[in-house]
A = this chain, B = another copy of it.
Amino acid sequence: MADVIASLRTSAPLVHCLTNVVVSQFTANVLLAAGAAPAMVHSVEEAGALARMAGGVLVNLGTVTSVTAPAMRVAVTEAAGAGRPWVLDPVAVGPLPWRTELAHELLESAPPAAVRGNASEILALDGGTGGRGVDSTDAPEAALAAAGSLARRYGCAVAVSGPQDVLTDGTRVVRLANGHPLLALVTGTGCSLGALVAACTAVTGDALLAATAATGLLTVAAENAATRSAGPGTFAVALIDALYELSPERLAEALDLR
């Protein structure tokens, strides 16, 4: 995992994010602080061209509309055609049928390198009923079977985010107990993790390793940031600094793998 983060900083992969408007700025700053190069292009006319150029592509469904859905479709198709990994963040899949159908359509069009979501989203993506908007009403461990099922179906890694993160490729299972409760009080921390996963898939072919390294980076940085924070405002700022400062060696030491 330390090697993945070291490679991220050395190679500064271009990460094309088709993400939601709420978290775009925070996501870009997280990627920059971690060493990657974010690019965000939403037009159907251009999303495919940028996907072919990118090291990794993120598709986050948060504020998808009829304008951006076609851009997501072409980005996924072109990424796959060019051998670029893509990552799905199925925000609010479950209670909202339109995006749930879109998520399945994208997954069927080209298998992703990884899927990152909360437990409710992963359960819903595997056929469950889902949570309340962007909130998870289930614990990550409860989504392990669903995560494994998705991972085997698409040959991808699945990261279930929560107080304890659970990640699997359908065979191996990793649990990470790093993190801090303030992460849940800052918008875009989960979405930024999806972007970091996409960044890490650009530097390693092992998608489970990529998702685990990204999760470890964000959650250990969160622990460091919390020591300098008075609340969610200062925490969000300190988190960017902490991502920038965290060395691969310190990350490796701080990981709480279960």
Contacts and interface: CB of A to CB of B under 8 A. Distances in A.
A161 to B, nearest CB: 16
A177 interface: no
A53 to B, nearest CB: 7
A92 B39 contact: yes
A3 interface: no
A45 interface: yes
- The binding surface of chain A is classed by DSSP as mixed
Nearest to A63: B42
Oligomer: number of copies: 3
Contact of A44 (B16, B66, B92, B230): B66
How many chain A residues sit at the interface, stated as a range, is 35 or more
B45 A62 contact: no
A85 interface: no
Interface string A44-84: 11100110011000000011111110010000000000000
Contacts of A248: none
Given A14-B132, A231-B240, 17 more contacts: A21-B42, A28-B188, A29-B187, A29-B232, A37-B132, A37-B134, A40-B63, A43-B65, A43-B99, A44-B65, A49-B95, A65-B68, A231-B242, A233-B240, A233-B241, A233-B242, A233-B244
